[in-house]
Structure 1
Amino acid sequence: MSVIEIHGFTVEYLEPTGEPITAGGAIIDLIGNASFSGVDVIAIPVSRLHQDFFDLSTRTAGEIMLKGANYGVALAVLGDIEPWRHGSAAFDDFVRESNRGTNMWFQTNREEFEARLATRPARR
């Protein structure tokens, strides 16, 4: 994990390997600690997300996004999500709507994510 300042945002980058992130207590701790530390955005590699995240019927993605919103921490999912977008019209709609908002974004890579931050006003 590394925390850096980018375009007025404090960003916590999670490592690509580690325990899969689910909607349980671990995500609450992760987001709560980030909020307490002044982090604006947590960048989460696709490889860290549990498969339930990509199945909207589990409500995992919505619960994680809600936790972030409640704590004032945006979430950015970094990596290739095309297989899940093509496999589910609902997930594709979720990604498109999320990318229009301020609480969760889906970006292909770190460079694309950082370019997005450059176009947004700082959260705090």
Structure 2
Amino acid sequence: MKIIKLQNEEIARIVSDEVSIKDTQTLLDIVMGVQYETGYRQIIVDKATILEAFFDLKTKLLGEAFQKLVIYQQRLAIIGDYSSYVSKSWQDYMFESNKGNNVYFVATELEAVEKLKR
């Protein structure tokens, strides 16, 4: 885990070379583990650490996981390339999520920090 320090807050950046988020429970285990260890409620992860099935809206994994994040007042930014997801439903989902306050789909760590520091 890497810590990104801002003026008034800190953000945890999960660093991993493998797919470590395979379902809703593993996502919750990771974010709640970070909160327990550090007290941080703002987390950045790389898209590559999340099972690809999460990004298929038909599986409902994203919606289920993100609903839990909202309940537990966690904020998450996922860094990655989303250009291969071209369906209108995916684009709408990402657009609405990025307008909200809990989960963001961004391309860079800088964008993630900008979204989470608001």
* TM-score using structure 1 length: 0.82
**What is the aligned length?**
117
- Where 2:12 maps in the other structure, the secondary structure is strand
Which residue identity is paired with 2:30?
L
Structure 2 residues without counterparts, runs of 5 or longer: none
Cα-to-partner distance string for 1:19-42 (whole Å, 9 max, x where unaligned): 331324322211222233321211
Q: Per-residue CA shift, 1:27-86, capped at 9, x if unaligned?
A: 2211222233321211111111111111011011112212211221111011111111x1
User: 1:2: Cα distance to partner?
Assistant: 1.4
Counterpart residue type for residue 10 of structure 1: E
1:16 deviates by: 4.3
Q: Aligned pair 1:106/2:105, yes or no? A: yes
Secondary structure of the residue that 1:102 maps to in structure 2?
Answer: coil
| 1:15 is aligned to 2:25 | no
Quote the offset at 1:103 in angstroms: 0.8
Instruction: Check the 8 A contact 2:97/2:104 in 1, yes or no.
Output: yes
2:52 partner amino acid? Q
**1:91 CA displacement:** 1.1
Give every structure 1 segment of 4 or more consecutive aligned residues whose post-TM-superposition deviation is greater than 6 Å: none
Q: Distance in 1 between matches of 2:52 and 2:107?
A: 18
Equivalent residue letter for 1:101: G
Change (3 A) 1:113 1:28: closer
**CA–CA distance in structure 2, aligned partners of residues 9 and 61 of structure 1:** 27
| Mapped contact 2:20–2:26 kept (Cα < 8 A) | no
Aligned partners of 1:27, 1:5: CA distance in 2, in Å? Answer: 23
Structure 2 letter corresponding to 1:50: L
Say which structure, 1 or 2, has more relative contact order (CA 8 Å, 6+ apart).
Answer: 1
Flag structure 1 segments of 5+ consecutive residues without an equivalent: none
3-state SS of 2:21 partner: coil
Residue identity (%): 26
Deviation at 1:7, TM superposition (A): 4.7
Does the 8 Å CA contact 2:43/2:77 hold for their aligned counterparts? Answer: yes
Which residue identity is paired with 1:4? I
User: 1:116 aligns to what?
Assistant: 115
